[in-house]
Chains A and B, each alone.
Chain A
Amino acid sequence: MHGFANPARFLRIARWMTPLLLISGLVLGLGSLWWGVFKAPADELQGETVRIVYLHVPTAWLGMAGWMAVAVASLTELVWRHPLAGIAARASAAPGAVFTAICLVTGSLWGRPAWGTWWVWDGRLTSMLVLLFLYFGYMALASASDQDGQGEARIPAIFGLVGAVNIPIIHYSVLWWNSLHQPPSITMGKSAMAPEFLVPLLIATLGFSLLFGGVVLARMRAILANAQAEARLRRKAMTEDFA
């Protein structure tokens, strides 16, 4: 794993992987959404609103996966002092927050016709909203630690790790507590969904995951490039001062 700790090696891989992930993600994501809207059938009970699933489920998955990425990168940063781990954690936070917000909004838009209400304070919806606030907290801490230069980089990393406790709460909330939200339709190796719904949903999830990967790589490259530019300008300023 430490082989990838070298920023130069990372950049060599990220240069070709970023457009590859973004383009393949856009093609699969947009294609599956088009399939979901125009080709997939309506549901017998939920009618046309079932089409929201092709957007809601991938964004819910990425909201949670984004925080898992933050937590794993934070652990790597704390334990192994991996130079790219903190950058990976920071780069994963904003996309995770965006997908969590989209999940909440699309869920609310689905809930109104399906449940008769925009929002209920049940376990699943509330824990997902807490996840969004955790992202905001993480981004604020990371930004504060970056701004004062010598800031404690460990503080956002510890927050990222501790916040991971919310992920199993989100996942199991529909089993632990009574909820309007349905239990998981897809579990390891099993699905309660008919193939005509499941196939576009899996393709949408794959497409959005590739997009997420491409966005994280792009954001990591931006953080690295800004850090390199700052370091060069500081070095130049110091040599000019002593000249």
Chain B
Amino acid sequence: MHENLNQWNFVAASYVIGLAGTLGLVAQSWLAMRKAEARRDRSRGK
């Protein structure tokens, strides 16, 4: 049985998942760092 797969669908799905995962990781790490450093700075003043 011959399947007619559109190869671009697989490429697009890979890039969407890969980019979402990578950019999500970068954003989460950056925001967690900013939040933790703001908490540390606030604790200095208390």
Contacts and interface: CB of A to CB of B under 8 A. Distances in A.
Looking at chain A's contact residues, is the secondary structure mostly helix, strand, loop, or mixed?
Answer: helix
A54 to B, nearest CB: 9
B29 A109 contact: no
B40 A228 contact: yes
Given A101-B21, A218-B33, A222-B33, A229 B39 contact: yes
Interface in A62-121: 94-95, 98-99, 101-102, 105-106, 109-110, 112-113, 116
Interface stretch (A43-51, A151-159, A182-190): A43-51
Given A52-B14, A56-B14, A208 B22 contact: yes
Contacts, number: 103
A229 B40 contact: yes
Contact of A236 (B5, B14, B32, B46): B46
Contact size range, B = 20 to 34
Interface of B: 3, 5, 7-8, 10-11, 13-15, 17-19, 21-22, 25-26, 29-30, 32-33, 35-37, 39-40, 42-44, 46
Interface of A: 18, 22, 26, 29, 33, 37, 47-49, 51-52, 55-56, 59, 94-95, 98-99, 101-102, 105-106, 109-110, 112-113, 116, 208, 211, 214-215, 218-219, 221-226, 228-229, 232-233, 236
